[in-house]
Amino acid sequence: MISNKTIWLIIFSGLIIISGVFWWNIDRLNQGQDVIWNKNLKTEEKVVVKTELEIKEKRPLRFMFFGDVMLDRNVANVLEKKNMEELLAGLSSKDDYFKKSDIISANLEGAVTNEGKHYAPVNLYDFAFPVERLTGLEQRGFNYFTLANNHFLDQGERGVKESRENLAKENFYFSGAPDAKIDDFSRIDVKIEDKKVALIGLSMVYNHFSREKAIALLSQTKNEVDLIIVNIHWGNEYEHLFNRYQQEVGHYLIEEGADIIIGHHPHVVQGMEIYQGKPIFYSLGNFIFDQYFSIPTQTGLALYLEIDEEELIFKFFPFSSKQSAPTFKEDKIEIENFLNDFISWSEIDQEYSTMLKSGVLEVKR
Ligand SMILES: [Zn+2]
C-alpha cells in the first residue's frame, strides 16, 4: 500500500521533471541567434547575427526591396534638421506593406563605423555613418542591408569590420563583401517560417568578381536553401538601359540557382527582364541619397513581393524624392508614365508588359 506521502512525493517529482523539460525547450526556442561567419575570424571577432524570424501561421513570404541608401554628406546635414521618421514620412501610404513584410532590404552605400568616424585615407567620395542613423529605418521595418558595393571599403578594413559588428549589435541581417570580392560574408541565410532564404550580396563596380567563385557560391547555396535572392551592385551610372555585361552576369547567376536578382548602383531606375522564369531588376535607383541635380536621380522604385509555392507577385511602388526625402507617387498619371518608361527600359514579352501596366507582375514559379 502506497502512503499519501509517497503519492505526493511522486506528483511533486513529476512536476519538477515536466517544468525542467519545459524550461529547457523555452531556452532552445530562444536561441534564435546563431554564431556564423566565424571561419576566418578570431574568436573575439565573432559576429553574432539573428537568423530566425518567428512566424506562426502558414502564408506567403513577403519582402520589400529598395535601392541605394547613403546617410553621409548632404543626407547627414538634412538629418540634423529632421529625424529619419520625418524624412520617411512620405512612405506612410504603404504602411501596411511595410508592416507585413518579413524582410525589408536596401543597399547600404558606405561604412557603418563607430560614431560614424572617417578613417584615412580620405577618398574623393568617402562615406561613413553611425549605426544610430539607421534607427529610423529599423523602425520602418528595414532589417536587411546588402553591403556589397563600391563604398563599403571607404573606411578601409577597419570600417568593414566595424560595420559588421555594429549592424550585428543592432540585430540587422546583412551580407556582402567589398567590391569584386566574394567570401563567407557574401551570403546570409534567414529562416522564415519553414523556409530558408539565402540573401546574397555581390558587387562588380570597379572590378568583376570571380565567375568561378560566384558559381561555387550559388551551387552550394542552392542545395541548402529554398530561395536565393541576390542583391547586386553593377551597371553604368545614370543610364536607364542595362548593359550587356550586366545581362550576361544576371543570366549566369540565374542559371546557377538565383531566384530573384535585385540590382542597384546606377543611381537611376533601370528596366527588368525575366530570364528562365526568374526576374532580374537591373536597378531600383536611389532610395535615400543626395543627388539633387536631376529628376531620374530623385526617382526610385520600391518592390513589394509575395511569394508562395506557385508564384511570385510583385507590386511596383515608384517614388519621388526631394532633399533626400522619398514620397510614394500617388498620382495615377505619374505612376502610369513611370511604368511606361520602365517597360521601355525593360526586355520583357508582351504578356508581362501588359500586366506591368497595372503595377502588378505575376511570375509563375
Ligand atoms: Zn554604388
Domain with 320 in it: what CATH number? Answer: 3.60.21.10
**Long-range pairs for 244-248 at CB < 8 Å and ≥24 separation?**
246/282, 247/273, 247/280
Residue 21, pLDDT above cutoff 80: no
What is the CA(236)–ligand 1 centre distance, in A? 10
Contact 63, 305 (CB under 8 A): yes
Residue 335, pLDDT above cutoff 60: yes
What is the CA(250)–ligand 1 centre distance, in A? 17
The strand pair at 52-53 and 195-203 is best described as: unpaired
Q: In terms of domains, do 118 and 10 share one? A: no
Residue with cell 545614370: 238
Record the pTM: 0.85
Residue 39, pLDDT above cutoff 70: no
What is the CA(221)–ligand 1 centre distance, in A? 25
10 lies in some domain:
yes
Mean pLDDT over 8-14 rounds to: 63
Q: In terms of domains, do 191 and 302 share one? A: yes
217-230: pLDDT as tens digits: 999 999 999 999 99
Domain that holds residue 68: 42-364
230-286: pLDDT as tens digits: 999 999 999 999 999 999 999 999 999 999 999 999 999 999 999 999 999 999 999
Give phi and psi for 257, each to the nearest 5: 130, -5
Mean pLDDT over 148-156 rounds to: 97
What is the CA(31)–ligand 1 centre distance, in A? 36
Residue with cell 519582402: 63
Handedness of CA 341, 346, 347, 350 (dihedral sign): negative
36 lies in some domain:
no
What is the CA(153)–ligand 1 centre distance, in A? 11
Nearest alpha-carbon partner for 179 in 134, 224, 147, 156: 147
What total number of domains does the chain contain? Answer: 2
As residues whose CB is below 5 A from the ion ligand 1, the structure lists 149-150, 265
Question: What is the distance between the alpha carbons of residues 226 and 191, in angstroms, rounded to a whole number?
Answer: 10
What is the CA(308)–ligand 1 centre distance, in A? 32
Q: In terms of domains, do 14 and 121 share one? A: no
Q: In terms of domains, do 49 and 15 share one? A: no
